[in-house]
A and B are shown apart, each in its own frame.
Chain A
Amino acid sequence: MSERTRRIVFVVAALGVAAILLWALAGLPSFGSHESAYARLLNSTTAKRRHVTDVVTATVFDYRGVDTFGEELLLFAAVVGATLLLREQREELHEPPSDQGLGRVAVSMSSAVRLVGVAIIGPAFVFGLSIVAHGHLSPGGGFQGGVVLASVALIAYLVGEYRTLERSAPFAVAELSEGTGAAGYAVMGTLGLIGGAAFLQNVLPLGQLGTLASGGTILFGDVTVGLAVTGALVALFHEFLHQTLVVRRARAKRGSR
């Protein structure tokens, strides 16, 4: 294809995509509007039918529970894939973990960062637990709380060393937490089958609206997803930090020494 033909094909294709895109954009609901028929239905019935006050969490773990199961397995597969790719190679060597500056001398930890980190590590942990546990009552839930909990492990690394992270949130525990969470969600799904209903159907007693023990399986979904997300992210951080700080390629090491 000559350059001239190629350009003509591109212009025709670009104009076509632009026309379809503009057509689609013209049909969008107006900016900031959030009242679709489905949203109206869920907003007006969720409190009565599921005894929870956060409609988003009820949608994620109950009405659309199968989608969440898919996402959960997706995250699991992604982390397993990353772990597999970052596994130790035979020609790689280990070094004691040390901070590596990018083309400069690594700066040592300032006492201000250490003080602030130590001060927020406990509150951040409790905050993460609270977001997981109150997912069915207020904004948040297993995913958001899980990421907050995982970032607590990062603060532990920030104020200490790599060994602090290894000791306070070991890789094995992260993997265990991730696997337990993913499997737990599947077990929650089979509760529906055991109860004589569909997979992931909410068969547990719904409890009193607005209390911690309400919503049936929704709280269970929050907890299992929280476990899975915390474990997945901590495992990822472990893998990347391990690759960055500990593992050296054999050739690179011989060259530098």
Chain B
Amino acid sequence: MNVLIAIVLVVLAAAGTAVVFTREQPSQAIVLSFYGLVVGLLLVLLQAPAVALSEIVVGSVAIPMIVLLVLARAHGAR
């Protein structure tokens, strides 16, 4: 279990770095969605399934969706 947590923590760090270094905003929303999924995975491994479920639905569906829609709106208004 500890090995799994270590692996997920490394992937999490990589995913977080990837979010920061993705400069194109629509792509960033998609990478952010992947980051939310990895956070959810970590919470599953830490035996917090209820929080994991919340994190996956909010972090990898709701937030990227709102970000994408706002971006589309902001670009469309230009």
Write the residues of chain A forming the contact surface with B, with a CB cutoff of 8 angstroms: 32, 34, 54, 56-57, 100, 102-103, 131, 139-141, 143-144, 147-148, 150-151, 154, 233, 236-237, 240-241, 243-244, 248-249, 252
Q: Which of A56, A154, A241 contacts B61 (CB 8 A)?
A: A154
CB pairs A–B below 8 angstroms (12 shown): A32-B5, A34-B48, A100-B75, A102-B26, A141-B50, A144-B50, A147-B62, A151-B61, A233-B62, A240-B70, A244-B73, A248-B76
A144 B5 Cβ-Cβ under 8 A: no
Given A32-B46, A240-B66, the answer on whether A102 and B54 have CB atoms closer than 8 Å is no
B50 A100 Cβ-Cβ under 8 A: no
* B66 neighbours in A (Cβ, 8 Å): 236, 240
A147 B57 Cβ-Cβ under 8 A: yes
Write the residues of chain B forming the contact surface with A, with a CB cutoff of 8 angstroms: 5, 26, 46-54, 57-58, 61-62, 65-66, 69-73, 75-78
A144 B69 Cβ-Cβ under 8 A: no
A240-B62 Cα distance, complex, nearest whole Å = 12
A139 B75 Cβ-Cβ under 8 A: no
Given A148-B57, A252-B77, the answer on whether A240 and B69 have CB atoms closer than 8 Å is yes
Q: Using CB atoms, name the residue of chain B closest to A247.
A: B73
Of the candidates A56, A100, A244, the one having the most CB atoms from chain B within 10 angstroms of its own CB is A244
Query: How far apart are A12's CB and chain B's nearest CB, in angstroms?
Result: 29
Query: How far apart are A155's CB and chain B's nearest CB, in angstroms?
Result: 10
* A56 neighbours in B (Cβ, 8 Å): 50-51
A190-B61 Cα distance, complex, nearest whole Å = 34
B47 A139 Cβ-Cβ under 8 A: no
A240 B57 Cβ-Cβ under 8 A: no
Q: Using CB atoms, name the residue of chain B closest to A128.
A: B57
Query: How far apart are B72's CB and chain A's nearest CB, in angstroms?
Result: 5
Q: Using CB atoms, name the residue of chain B closest to A57.
A: B50
B54 A144 Cβ-Cβ under 8 A: yes
* A154 neighbours in B (Cβ, 8 Å): 61, 65
B58 A147 Cβ-Cβ under 8 A: yes
A243 B73 Cβ-Cβ under 8 A: yes
